[in-house]
């Protein structure tokens, strides 16, 4: 049964691998002179997605969040492994899941080369592998005082959608429809990450919240930052709800954005704008790095904005 499931849903040609699905191990030949970037993420039903969510959307999101890690390192996607625990063998669910997964894989040229299936609570675990030239990986420890802080795209939309879905924020249905796609179908900024090699001093993807994820850069780089709340890029529909504290928290610390937060020297602003335009992604300068190891958000009144938390806690109740 297990091997039939793998053969039906997850076995495809893998011209970029020496040997793909079907043996005890895949055989991979990285491009000579390149370094491998490897990352793993796990998604659990009830924690990262709901039972009623579209299986195609789950397939899309499960790979997208992993590709976002490669984007944050400036790595070119190459290969992935996929392990799934399923309560039961459900061909219709797997067919739709595989459709969403492979649509995302084909968009970014990544090949599925192995994995595992077993019975259990619905759990999806993916490992992705990418390539980056030596010394050019975007890391968290390169931010310097005086650097600009940037984010790609818009933030807060996915968290706003989740708050609406959980009943923590009332939204008009027409407004909710504008933010829900960000929760279900995130876009990894792979092309932008690659384009920022040699320009960005540090980078991270925003998965657990802007303040929390930027905090990882600040901690690793031993610096601080001052951000301007008014500069944070959000959808107009999000701005309409910012009078609500929960909406402000969604923007600052909501998570699930899968945008890139990165720093770059102030004299590279033109270069950042040029590569962002070539990648087709809007970027916004939201603050600057400081020597003092403290993170401050300045509100519209020019005063520091209080915040209760900085990001998603995977072990919170």
Instruction: Please report, in range form, the residues annotated as the binding site for Mg(2+).
Output: 24, 39-41, 69, 116, 205, 208
Binding-site positions: 24, 39-41, 48, 69, 115-116, 140, 205, 207-208, 256, 312
- Exposure class string for 6-28: b at 16+ Cβ within 10 A, else e: beebbeeebeebeebbeeeebeb
What is the spatial distance between Cα 169 and Cα 266, in angstroms, rounded to a whole number? 38
Say which residue the tokens 């919240």 belong to: 209
* Bind-site residues for substrate: 48, 256, 312
Q: Which residues are annotated as a binding site for ATP?
A: 115-116, 140, 207
């Amino acid at each position: 049964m297990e091997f039939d499931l793998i053969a039906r849903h997850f076995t495809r040609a893998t011209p970029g691998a020496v040997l793909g699905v079907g043996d005890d191990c895949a055989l991979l030949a990285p491009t000579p002179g390149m370094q491998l970037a490897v990352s793993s993420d796990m998604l659990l039903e009830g924690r990262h997605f709901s039972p009623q969510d579209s299986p195609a959307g789950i397939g899309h999101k499960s790979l997208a969040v992993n590709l976002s890690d490669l984007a944050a390192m400036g790595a070119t996607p190459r290969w992935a492994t996929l392990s799934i625990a399923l309560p039961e063998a459900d061909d219709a669910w797997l067919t739709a899941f595989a459709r969403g997964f492979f649509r995302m894989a084909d968009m970014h040229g990544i090949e599925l080369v192995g994995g595992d299936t077993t019975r259990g609570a619905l759990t999806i675990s993916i490992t992705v592998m990418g390539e980056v030239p030596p010394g050019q990986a975007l890391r968290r420890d390169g931010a310097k005082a005086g650097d600009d802080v940037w984010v790609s795209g818009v933030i807060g939309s996915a968290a706003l959608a989740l708050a609406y879905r959980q009943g923590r924020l009332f939204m008009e249905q027409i407004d909710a429809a504008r933010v829900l796609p960000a929760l279900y179908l995130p876009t990894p900024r792979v092309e932008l990450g690659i384009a920022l090699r040699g320009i960005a001093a540090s980078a991270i993807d925003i998965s657990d919240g802007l303040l929390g994820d930027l905090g990882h850069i600040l901690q690793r780089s031993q610096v601080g930052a001052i951000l301007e709340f008014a500069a944070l890029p959000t959808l107009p529909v999000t701005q309409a709800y910012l009078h609500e504290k929960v909406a402000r928290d969604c923007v600052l610390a909501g998570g699930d954005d899968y945008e890139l937060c990165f720093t770059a020297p102030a004299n590279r602003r033109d270069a950042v704008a040029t590569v962002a335009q070539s990648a087709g992604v809007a970027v916004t300068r939201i603050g600057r790095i400081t020597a003092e190891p403290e993170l401050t958000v300045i509100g519209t009144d020019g005063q520091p904005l209080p915040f209760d938390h900085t990001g998603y806690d995977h072990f919170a109740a």
